[in-house]
Structures are given as C-alpha cells and as structure tokens.
Structure 1
Amino acid sequence: MIGQALKPRVGWLTDLTTGALVKDIVAGLILSILLVPQAMAYAQLAGLPPQTGLFAALLPPLIYALFGTSNFVSMGPVALVSLVVAEAAGNAPVPPEIAAAVIAVEAGVALALLGALGLGRLVNFISEPVLLGFTAAAAFLIAASQLPTLIGVEAPRAGDLPTALQGLWSGIGGFSWATTVIGLASLGALLLINRYAAAILWKLGLHPPFRQAVAKSLPFVVIVLAALAVSQIAAPVETVAAVERGLPSPPWPLGGPSLWLSLLPSALAVAVIVFVTATAVAKSLAGKDRSALDTSREAVALGLGNIAAVATGGYAVGASLSRSALVEDSGARSPLASIVASLVVLAVLLFLAPYLSLLPKTALAALVISAVFGLIKIRAIREIVAHDRIEGAIVGIAFLATLIFGVRLGLAIGAGAGLAHFLWFSSLPRVTRVGSDDGGASFRSVDRDAVTIDTLPVLIVRIDRSIYFGNAAFCEDEIFACLARHDGVTCLVIDMRAVNGVDASGAAMLRRLTERLHEMDIAVHFAEAHEPVTRALTSLDANICCFHRTIQLAMEQCGAPVDERIAPT
C-alpha cells in the first residue's frame, strides 16, 4: 500500500539495547574501512572525481534505515551502477557531475514511484539467465574500463568492449612502468586476499565475527601500502585529485529538459539494476534475521536514497552485496551500523580530506577489478545451461549484447530475448490425450505413460497451461487435430486442472469450440476446472457444455462410467 511504503520504519530504534548499540558501532567502523576506498574507486569507475563516491555515501544509508526492510543492506556506490553512469555521463554535453546527478534524480523518482504504486513486481520480467549474462559481461566491461588507469594509460572512456580495447591498444605505448608495477602488485595482493584471507585467518584461530571483518579490512591496507610505495619512488604515479575539507554541495543547476530526456533511458537502466540487485541482496540476508522483505518499501528506500545522494553532491547508488555481508558478519543488529559508517565518511571529508590525495589511482583501479570477479557466476550459468539450452542461449545473448553494445542496450536486448522466450514457450501449451491404468483413480498423458486408453467414443484431453490470447488458437487447433485422429467421438472431456486462468481471447475460443462441436454432434464437458476459471467461462452456453468436479463424473454424464470403460492393467 502507498501509505505503508512511505511510512518511515523506526521500530529498530526502540529495540536497541546497550549491547546491540556497541555491536552496531563496531560493525559500522569495520564497514567504513571497506566503504571509503570502495566509494572512491567506484566513483573513479563512473568517470567522476573519487571524492564524489564519498559524497554519495553520506545520506543514502540514513534514508535506507528509515524506509528499507533489511537491517544489513549497505547503500552506496556500486560497480554496475557506476558503469552505466560512466557510459551515459561520458557522452553527455554537460560536465559528468551534472549528468550523473540528473541520472540519480531520475532513477530515484522512478524507483520511488515504482514502490509507492506497488509495481515492484514488474522488474521480475528480467529473468535470471538475462541477469547472469548481463552481470558477467558487465564485469568484463568494468575490468576493461579500469585497465588504462591500472597501467597509467590515457584512453577515452568507452561503453563497450571493442571500443575499450581499441582505446587501450592505441595508448599502450605510453604506459608507465611504475604505475603498472604498483597497480599489478595491488591487484595480485587483492586477489590473494579475496581468495585466501578468510581461510588463513580461520586457521590462525580468528573466528566470526572478527574473521570476516579483518579479511574485508585488508584491501584498505593494500591501498595504504600502495600510497606509501608511491611516496617512496621518484617515478611519477598519478594520485587522486586534492579534496578540500568541508561538506559537499550539489552541482546546481542540473541542465534543461533536453538533457533530462536524453539521460532518461540510462536512468531507467540504473533504476532496474539498482532495484534488482538490491532486492537480491536483501533476500539473501533476510533469512538470517528472519526479517520480511517488502519490495515496495525497498523501491521507495532506494529511490529516496538516490535523490538524497544528489543533495550531498553524489551520484546514483545501490546496495553492495560485499559490504552488506560484511555488516551482517560483523555482528550488526540494526541499520545503525551503516549510519555509523556514513558518519566516519563524513569525518574523513572534514578532517582527513587532504590525505586522500596520496592514494594512487592505479590501486583504486586494482580494487575495482578485484571486486568484479564476484559478478561472474560460472556455477549458476552452468546450472542454467544444464537445465535448458534455450535459457543457456539467453545467457549468451545477454552476455554478447552487453559486451558489444554496452550495458544499457545489452540489458534491453537480454530482457527482450528473455521475454521472447517466455512468450514463445507459453504460446505452445501441451494439449494431450489422457487415460488411466488404475480404474480412473488417476489420469495421465498417454504419450508419456503406458495407460489404458479404451475410453472411446469419449475422448479426454488435457490442456497443460493457462489459456490466453497468445495460445488460444494453438489450443483450438490441437484439440481438433486430436479429434481428427480418432473416429466416432461422441463426447469430448477437457481436463482443466492445469489451466489456472483464461483471458477474454481464451474464453472466446472455448465458446467457439463448443459451438462448432455442438454442430458436429459432439458433447463438450469440462472437468476439474478451478473456480476462477469457471467464473471466467460463464459466457459459455450451458445448453451445449457443462462443468464437472472430476473426470469420472464427466464420463458418467457421457454415459461411459470409468469402472466399465477403463480396466486396470
């Protein structure tokens, strides 16, 4: 409901105890150690000044704490959203900061409306195969976009893989040895930490919640060591631009109507990515504290959080799985942990801003590249390919489309392929003859099971899907084809147990079917129809067809009792 989705959630404040408060503060401090470098790195990925990521991490956690449903979700800059912003803002006719702010506001408004109107389920039309292919390709694009920074090459920002590789190749001759060595060393250390740190800490006797907290804090150590290395060498290595102390301000004005219209497709792509990924994160953590996920509230929280990010000079934000998992693993009990982390970010901006200029950009690029490997879920893709080759092909379509055409168009093509598969699949329902081998206790398809089919002149068919405009004609054709294969049919029993709904086109088809069969002197009986389906078919002429609770009753009405016509084998 609209009122509930827009009502702040403050119950967690009254549930706080002294022990829980201490745990939340500790978890927030641990989160901030990962949040600060990630926020700067993802802003760099978006083509924005690194401090913009810190600006974006200030208000969204507070907004989510008031309107969201999970105690652990960490809102802030994320890789996928940053990639979309980079593609759109880099091609906009205004400074990137303004374009990024417009995208955040538009995405925020779209999400807030989605939640307020209870339309969050629309995003479910983007299937799992599409998301897997899209995110895997996005990981490659993110890594490719950071390679020039990793090795100190000046290359134009690209939204697709061919352009990115071409730009990298054209500038490869100007790479910096010092930058490359520090970047590759940082990347190697980060990959080793991601792979082995938690297991090594366990063997050393460090157990939850401290094990995961320490493991997730090690990337910050790598960034600091990289900064120390840069300060000790004579070769020039590009570092983060100087950040002034103080509170940020939004980049007003935000352009005219033409700019907003041109950026709207990118903003909608951001909204979809933010909502889908954030919902997945919230679902993965909901069971651990037995909290209930309300998708409408999630959409409102995410939307208002994006709008709030612009108010502090930030850009579009989402929910981070790695940071959210860290919050839960660190023993947090409420959203206060994320608020504490945002306060730490504020303290960094107020008191430590000048020191941020010591951080090398190549180390931040390494942090981004090391983080995107989690977007490639090989095991899940293999399971989908094994389950259905067509859905496996959809994974490939989304993957290749995103690599070749960029994230916005790639997501649209992947979603279109998924919807096309669904429409094609649902337009070809299975219409099969059924019979029994147990005296009518059960009825199964004669195509799959060795069942007795001595029911003629009564023909029993089953429709294995809801009937709607896309498959109504196919169902009609299949029923008449089945009738043509059997001579002397005087009664047709349609098993409706698998039909969960019938739209106006389906009802018109069944009405036409009963009338044609009546002219052919074939009686029509519907069996085991659900009550909503029966109500949808009230327009059928009761004088030429009727409904029965079971197939057995329908056959008795046809003058062919089951126990006489179907003998057990």
Structure 2
Amino acid sequence: MRSAPRTWLPSLPLLQWARGYQRETLLSDGVAALIVTVMLIPQSLAYALLAGLPPEVGLYASVAPLLLYAALGSSRVLAVGPVAVVSLMTAAAIGEHAVAGSDAYWAVAITLAFLSGVLLLAMGLLRLGFLANFLSHPVISGFISASGLLIAASQLKTLLGVQAGGHNLIELGRSLLSQLGQVHGLTALVGVVSIVFLFWVRSGLRPLLVRAGLPPRTADLLAKTGPIAAIGTTAFLAWALQWQAQGVKTVGAVPQGLPPLTQPLWDIALWQSLLVPALLISVVGFVESVSVGQTLAARRRQRINPDQELVALGASNLGAAFTGGFPVTGGFARSVVNFDAGAQTPLAGVLTAAGILLASLFLTPALFHLPQATLAATIVVAVLSLVDFGIFQRTWAYSKPDFIAMLTTLAVTLGVGVESGLVVGVGVSLALHLYRTSRPHIAEVGQVPGTEHFRNVQRHAVAVDPRLVGLRVDESLYFANSRALEDRVNQAVAEHPGLEHVVLQCSAINDIDASALESLEAIDTRLREAGIQLHLSEVKGPVMDRLQRTHFLQALSGRVFLTHYQAVHELAPPVG
C-alpha cells in the first residue's frame, strides 16, 4: 500500500475532534473552561504587569490565541496564554526600546509577538520541530529555576511599595537594598499576607475541604482558585478602607471592551534588534508547550505532533499580535488544571476564551481597587513552584557535565540576564557534548566463553587471540573524534606484536562523516603497510549505504562481516 504523500500545509485538527462531538463532552469541556477561566483571569493580569504592560493586555492575549490553538493545535487539553517565563523574557527584550507601561512599549510587545508568531509558523511549515532538541533538559531546568528566582525578585519592589529595577539579580538586589528605607508598610503587609494565604491555599485548603466532605478532585480544583479569593478580598478591603488614599498602589482604571485590532510596527531596524529575542522566546515557549502537551497526552494514550504545535503556536502569537496581546505559549499550571477538570477537547479553550471575553466586557471595573501587591503575590507563589534545587543534586550525582551546563545556565541567567543565560547554557551544553563525543569510549572486546557475545576485556573474563584485536566503538564517528580512533588503533597495534587482524565492531556507530571516512582510509593504509588487515563487523544499514557510495569498501584490506562472531570465527578459528 502506498503511503499518503507529505504536505507542507498544516492540517486542521479541529476537523478531527469536532466530527464526533457529543453532549456529554460539552458538559466536561464547559466545567473545565469555567475553572480555567477563573484561574486564568488573575494570571493574565499578573503576567501582563510582569511583562511591563497594562493589566488588560493580559486579557487580550488570552482570547484570540485560545481560539486559534483550538483550531490548529494537536493537544486536546493545552491551554495557551501568557506564562511567567515568556513574560519575563518579553520584558527583558523590549525594555531597551521603550518605557514600561507606555503606548510605545505596548507597540513593541505587539511587534515581538508578531515576530515570534512568524518564526514559529515558519518552523512548523518547514518541519523544524527538532531544533528544540538543542535545548537540553539540564539547560531548561537551570533556566526555568533561575527565571523563577528572577521573577520572584522582580516582584519585591511591588510587594514592598518601592521603586527598583534591573535586568538581573545583582542589579535588582542593589536597587532594592538602596530602597529599604522607603518601604511602604501597608503595601508590604498586603503583599506578605497574600503570599502566606496563597501558599496555605496550595497546601492546606485541600485537606480542609476533604475533611469537610468534598470529593478529593473537587477539593483540589477549588484549592487552585485561591488567587480569585485573594484578589476579591483585597480589592474589597482596598475599596472599603480607602487604601489607595493611604499610598497603596492599585491597578486603577482598566478599559472595558473587546480586544482591539492592532498591528505590529513595520520597522525593519526594530525587527532586526528583536529577531534574536523573538527566536529565543519562540524556542522556549515551544519547548515548554510541547513538554506539557506530551505529558498530558500520554496520560490519555494520545499523542501530539510537534510540527503541528509549531504551526498552532505561531498562529496563536500572530493572533495575539493583531488583537493587542504579547507573546504567549502553552502554560503548565493552567493546562494541568484543564486536564484535571475533565477537558476532553480544545472546545474547552474556546469556552475559556469566551469567559475571558466576558470578563473584559463586564468585570474590569471591579479591578480598579485591586492592589498591585496582590497580583505580585500571585506571581511569586506561581513562579516559586518552578524552582527545583533538588534536580541540581540529582544531576551532580548522575552527570557532572550536565550539572556544569545547568549551573552555568542558572548563574548567567541570574547574574547577566535571561537571554544571555539561555544562549550561554545552550553553548556550554553543545561544547560539553562535543567534548564528550570527541573522546569516544573504544573498548577492546573478547568472546564470552560458550556464547557468541563479546564484551570489554577489562570488565569480563573473555577469550582473546593474539592474532586479532576487536575494538567496539561506542559513538558515531565524525570530525571531532576521528583522530581518537586513529590513536586507539595505533595503541592496539603497539600492544600486540603478533597482530594480523583488526576488527572494528560498528554496532554503536550510527553515522560516519567525511572526516571520519578519511581517518578510516588512513588507518587501513597504515595497517596494510604493517601487514595487518582492517575489517568491519555489524555495520548498520544506513551507514553501509553511505560507505557503498565511496571507494572505501573496494579498497579495504579486509572484509565486512555481518556479525562480530562471524569475523572472529573466520579470522581466528581457534577462538571460535
């Protein structure tokens, strides 16, 4: 049967899940949408402020992206919108171009969302989802932990009611220390109480509700709506007790209405300066989104398509750009809540967008008296859950190079900034990979008595023959490690005076580049001149296909064997 031809155009997952939609599914999606909407409203407001934007921009960024992702996304439960790390990266990217909170700043944020959308869409259409693999897990872990600490530190000025700034932890620390004498007592009290309450809601409310007779799942979902209680309570107290007159900064007037129709700035020079930040935001957002989507899909025996996710996230960011938003991606917390609440299809996202739209139309006046310290507290509590110092200990015990990459990413992100931390982390990770693979593990192998298996002579009691040396190369061969193979073969020749055959066991070699091929030719020439034959065994099909397109196999002094046992059995019969 012929396979279906591949297409460069994106598919439309909407046609798949909408075809057999049922009333029971609508009920599940509706309940999930209600819960996620309640959670998303305070998050959207808070993350907009984190990005340096007016709070209503967070609501705008939560409507069109949800609708577009529902039509194009391959995950059935991923909830797209503003997230903490991307909001921080947005603030870092556009802080040099305009003053936070100004119309010019908002315009640059819209342009950044547009560029991010274009890059994501292009990567999806070109099927470049594999590029995210260059962000190793240690680098991502170090970056997210550092970003969590940096975001929490950036909110201290709002929690304390002081003026402070900085793009890294050192600058923030100096600025905050210089303002300690200006701390506003009531603002600090509101912020600290809100943080304590939100932490208690996360850990203490659920057991209390379960003891009161609620089902565990219902209690867990209600506990996640704690930020709404904090926002409602502090907004009411601020209105009733006239906190604004006492110096407490509130959100103030939030415009009512639908998200506006906007467009990016058509400034090529600005695009050039924002291109790298937009690329970093796109890749980080994609990695976070795919990680969450794959985890949740696996729990229902579903799957997601990374290239389709790129298309969907690209369209979502373009939607944000043309409706007054800023860069968005799939959020971990809200997606998990969406999953736990029973969402079955992306229609839950459509209903969530409708809920956010209603909030933009009718609920924004109630935000006038909301203390900014409360929103800062919701950010702090949310992002501190991203910080995982335990993974540093586990990584140190397992892999020192990965620990170095993780620690470097953490240190540079905290000490220099988010963009530099991510770039340096990727660079260090790639450099360590090159270093490791440039020194491949090459084991001399011998036959396990009574079997056809071959193992490392330094680890097992195996049989060897002085006329033959078997070398197992546990790495693909390329320019960085081809010289190491030459040195190891020379060493084997020097250590075995009666050597007649060298057999390279290629079972772990997935690729041989042009530099490595030249090294193999040089090895074969030197061995032939010494009266020794070079043989290959267990060469993988794709590698053999490439070798057959060269003259190497025709000029090879020895042979290519299907198995290493066959090579040893024919070249050194007494051992076999």
The TM-score, its normalising length taken from structure 1, stands at: 0.95
Equivalent residue for 2:427, pick from 409, 413, 416: 416
1:225-264 to structure 2, matched below 5 A, reads 225-234=233-242, 235-252=246-263, 254-264=265-275
Which of 422, 434, 448 is matched with 2:459 structurally?
A: 448
- Inter-partner Cα distance in structure 2 for 1:319 and 1:103: 17
> Does the alignment pair 1:20 with 2:28?
no
Q: Establish whether residue 522 from structure 1 lines up as the match of residue 532 from structure 2.
A: yes
Counterparts of 1:45 and 1:139 in 2: how far apart (Å)? Answer: 12
Asked if 1:546 corresponds to 2:554, the answer is: no
**CA–CA distance in 1 between the matches of 2:68 and 2:263?**
22
- C-alpha distance in 2 between matches for 1:406 and 1:554: 56
1:213-362 equivalences under 5 Å are 213-234=221-242, 235-252=246-263, 254-362=265-373
Specify every segment of 5 or more residues in structure 2 that has no aligned partner in the other structure, as ranges.
1-5
Identify the residue that residue 121 of structure 1 maps to in structure 2.
130
In the alignment, residue 420 of structure 2 is paired with which amino acid?
L
Distance, in Å, in 1 between the alignment partners of 2:263 and 2:483 is: 57
**3-state SS of 2:247 partner:** coil
State the one-letter code of the partner of 2:511: G
Q: Spell out, residue by residue over 1:342-381, the C-alpha distance to the aligned partner (whole angstroms, 9 max, x if none).
A: 1111111112221121211000000000001121123333
Given that 1:77 and 1:318 are in contact with CA atoms closer than 8 Å, whether structure 2 keeps it comes out as yes
**Which residue number in structure 1 is paired with residue 201 of structure 2?**
193
> Distance in 1 between the 2:444 and 2:412 partners?
42
Matching of residues 40-51 of structure 1 within 5 Å: 40-51=45-56
Give 1:211's match in structure 2, choosing from 214, 219, 222.
Answer: 219
Between the aligned partners of 1:113 and 1:194, the Cα distance in structure 2 is 40
**For residues 87-236 of structure 1, what are the structure 2 equivalents within 5 Å?**
87-93=92-98, 95-156=104-165, 158-207=166-215, 209-234=217-242, 235-236=246-247
Contact 1:429 1:463 (C-alpha < 8 Å) held by counterparts: yes
Deviation at 1:165, TM superposition (A): 1.3
* Counterpart residue type for residue 346 of structure 1: L
Aligned partner of 2:407: which letter? G
Greater CA drift, 34-43 or 11-20? 11-20
Distance (whole Å) between structure 1 residues aligned to residue 336 and residue 275 of structure 2:
32
User: Residue 483 of structure 1: which of 465, 486, 493 is its match?
Assistant: 493
Cα shift at 1:555: 2.7
1:337–1:253 CA distance, 2 compared to 1 (3 A): closer
Following superposition, which runs of at least 4 residues in structure 1 exceed 6 angstroms of deviation? none
Instruction: Tell me if structure 1 keeps the 8 A contact 2:486–2:519.
Output: yes
Could you give the per-residue CA deviations for residues 82-123 of structure 1, whole angstroms, max 9, x where no partner exists? 001111222114721011111111111111111111110111
2:537 touches 2:561 (CA, 8 Å); kept in 1? yes
In 1: Cα distance, 2:434 partner to 2:205 partner: 46
Secondary structure in structure 2 of the residue aligned to 1:352: helix
Q: Residue 462 of structure 1 aligns with which residue?
A: 472
Q: Measure the CA separation in 2 of the matches of 1:133 and 1:443.
A: 40
2:568 aligns with 555
For residues 325-404 of structure 1, the aligned pairs below 5 Å read 325-404=336-415
Report percent identity of matched pairs.
35
Task: Check whether the contact 1:155–1:168 (CA below 8 A) recurs between aligned residues.
Answer: yes
How far, CA to CA, are the matches of 2:274 and 2:203 in structure 1?
38
Structure 1 position 437, deviation (Å): 3.3
Give the C-alpha shift of residue 13 in structure 1: 1.6
- Counterpart residue identity of residue 448, structure 1: R
1:5 equivalenced with 2:10 (yes/no): yes
Give the 3 Å change call, closer, same or farther, for CA 69–381 of structure 1 in structure 2: farther
Is residue 34 of structure 1 aligned with residue 39 of structure 2? yes
After TM superposition, give the deviation of residue 299 of structure 1 in Å.
0.7
Partner residue of 1:62 out of 33, 46, 67: 67
1:474 and 2:479 aligned: no
Count of aligned positions: 561
Deviations 1:237-289 (A, max 9, x none): 11113122212324556151111111112111110111010011101100222
Contact 1:212 1:326 in 2 (8 A): no
Q: Which of 45, 57, 73 is the aligned partner of 1:52?
A: 57
**Is 1:6–1:300's contact at 8 Å kept on the other side of the alignment?**
no
Quick check: 1:59–1:308 contact (8 Å CA) kept in 2? Answer: yes
Compare 347-356 and 363-372 and name the one that shifted more.
347-356
Structure 1 residues 552 and 326: CA distance shift in structure 2, 3 A: closer
Deviation at 1:4, TM superposition (A): 5.3
Q: Determine helix, strand or coil for the equivalent of 2:148.
A: helix
Q: Secondary structure at the match of 1:10?
A: helix
Residue 72 of structure 1 is matched in structure 2 by 77
Inter-partner Cα distance in structure 1 for 2:142 and 2:468: 49
- Say whether the 8 Å CA contact 2:44–2:81 is kept in structure 1: yes
Offset at 1:55?
A: 0.6
1:287 aligns to what SS in structure 2?
Answer: helix
- CA–CA separation in structure 2 for the residues paired with 1:552 and 1:75: 55
- Is the Cα contact below 8 Å between 2:110 and 2:264 reproduced in 1? no
> What is the CA distance between 1:59 and its match in structure 2?
0.6
Give 1:206 deviation, angstroms: 2.1
Q: Which residue identity lines up with residue 27 of structure 1 in the other structure? A: A
Give the match for residue 417 of structure 2.
406
Query: Residue 462 of structure 1: SS of its match in structure 2?
Result: strand
Q: CA RMSD in A?
A: 1.7
1:291 shift after superposition: 1.7
Could you tell me how far 1:432 is from its partner in structure 2? 2.0
Following the alignment from structure 1 to structure 2, what is the Cα–Cα distance between the partners of residues 296 and 170? 48
Query: SS where residue 18 of structure 2 aligns?
Result: helix
Deviates more, 1:539-548 or 1:41-50: 539-548
Aligned with 1:499: secondary structure?
coil
CA, structure 1 residues 203+449, in 2 after alignment: closer, same or farther (shift >3 Å)?
farther
The one-letter amino acid of 2:440's match is: P
SS in 2 for 1:298: helix
TM-score (norm 2): 0.94
